[in-house]
Amino acid sequence: MTADAPRSYYSEGLIEEAVQENQRKLASEPGNHLLRCSLANGLVRLGKFEEAIEHYQKCIELSPSSEYWNNLGKALLNAGRYQEAVDAFAKVIEKQRWPDAFFHQAQAYRSLGMLEKANDQLCEAVKLNPKYREALNERAHILEALNRKDEALNEYKKVIALFFAEYQAQDAEDYCYETSVLLDNSDLVEELIRQLRRYIQKYPGFADGYYKLGQALEAKGLKNEAMMAFRKALEINPSYETARKCFWKR
């Protein structure tokens, strides 16, 4: 398993232009580690991990900061060089106990088949940041692989709770969440339905809440209740095409 390449709001064409510009400038300033790091970041976004690794390594030679080691570790992880990634993140953790470093080191350990060690590192990440949703979710997967099903379920439930904790502090329209990843497990679906019902009580005019409740009810096999939820989403927002397709597919 490799880490996803970082996403960018810039088009690939613009990233390529930025990379070319950084390469041009670096030719005259080879000792500028900030410029070299910017180039490496662009190469990562283009999926050119081996080239990025070379530049991050040069950055570390020029300025061995934790940030550069962390960036190198992520590039090594994406390139499938897992043991080297473990070693790079260890350099970060020696100086900075960043949750992000523990999380990505755990991914490298998992890819090496070292599940217990991966679990240990994820525990450290969550200890440092109890709301680290990605780490909780990754730990649940690890625990499942270790056949520790009950512990895995508890971690998944924490992930669900964090999905809905955010909306309490902001307007529903600004709340960005995705629940489809939670629909494959019957126990998680029940918890998701419970949380979604609470959600729409707080925001009864938010169509997306009803739509996601419909998805969860459908996954549970409650077809009629699901159709009612989809219909409510359409009543609130008649132009909600995804809810319309779900409602009329019966």
Taking only the tens place, the pLDDT of each residue in 31-44 is: 999 889 989 988 99
Q: Are residues 231 and 144 in the same domain?
A: no
Q: Is pLDDT above 70 for 250?
A: no
Read off the pLDDT of residues 148-204 as tens digits, 9 standing for 90 and up. 988 988 888 888 777 665 544 444 444 445 566 567 666 678 778 887 888 788 778
pLDDT number for residue 178: 57
Q: Are residues 3 and 91 in the same domain?
A: yes
Q: Are residues 8 and 59 in the same domain?
A: yes
Q: Is pLDDT above 50 for 7?
A: no
Q: Are residues 7 and 86 in the same domain?
A: yes
Q: Are residues 102 and 90 in the same domain?
A: no
pLDDT number for residue 1: 42
Domain membership of residue 172 (yes or no) is no
CATH number at residue 49: 1.25.40.10
Tokens of 12: 């690939």
Domain membership of residue 156 (yes or no) is yes
Q: Are residues 146 and 109 in the same domain?
A: yes
**Using CA atoms, how far apart are residues 189 and 218, in angstroms rounded to an integer?**
10
Read off the pLDDT of residues 58-111 as tens digits, 9 standing for 90 and up. 999 999 999 999 999 999 999 999 999 999 999 999 998 999 999 999 999 999
- Distance of CA 152 to CAs 125, 130, 193, 216, Å? 16, 16, 19, 20
pLDDT number for residue 164: 63
**Using CA atoms, how far apart are residues 23 and 89, in angstroms rounded to an integer?**
27
Q: Are residues 5 and 76 in the same domain?
A: yes
DSSP per position, 185-210: SHHHHHHHHHHHHHHHHH-TT-HHHH
Q: What percent of the chain has pLDDT over 70?
A: 84
Domain enclosing residue 218, as ranges: 178-250
Of 96, 121, 137, the last residue of a domain is 96
**Using CA atoms, how far apart are residues 3 and 133, in angstroms rounded to an integer?**
16
Domain membership of residue 155 (yes or no) is yes
pLDDT number for residue 100: 93
Q: Is pLDDT above 70 for 222?
A: yes
Of 96, 120, 141, the last residue of a domain is 96
Across the range 120-134, mean pLDDT stands at 91
Q: Are residues 241 and 223 in the same domain?
A: yes
- Distance of CA 21 to CAs 11, 13, 51, 59, 111, Å? 15, 12, 16, 18, 35
117 alpha carbon, distance to own chain's centre: 21
Whole-prediction pTM value? 0.65
Q: Are residues 22 and 105 in the same domain?
A: no
**Using CA atoms, how far apart are residues 230 and 226, in angstroms rounded to an integer?**
6
Q: Are residues 108 and 152 in the same domain?
A: yes
- Distance of CA 85 to CAs 43, 76, 101, 103, Å? 18, 5, 10, 12
- Number of folded domains that form the chain: 3
pLDDT number for residue 159: 80
Domain membership of residue 193 (yes or no) is yes
Q: Is pLDDT above 60 for 135?
A: yes
**Using CA atoms, how far apart are residues 130 and 1, in angstroms rounded to an integer?**
24
Higher per-residue pLDDT: 242 or 42: 42
Q: What percent of the chain has pLDDT over 90?
A: 41
Q: Are residues 102 and 135 in the same domain?
A: yes
Domain membership of residue 169 (yes or no) is no
Q: Are residues 9 and 87 in the same domain?
A: yes
Of 72, 96, 120, the last residue of a domain is 96
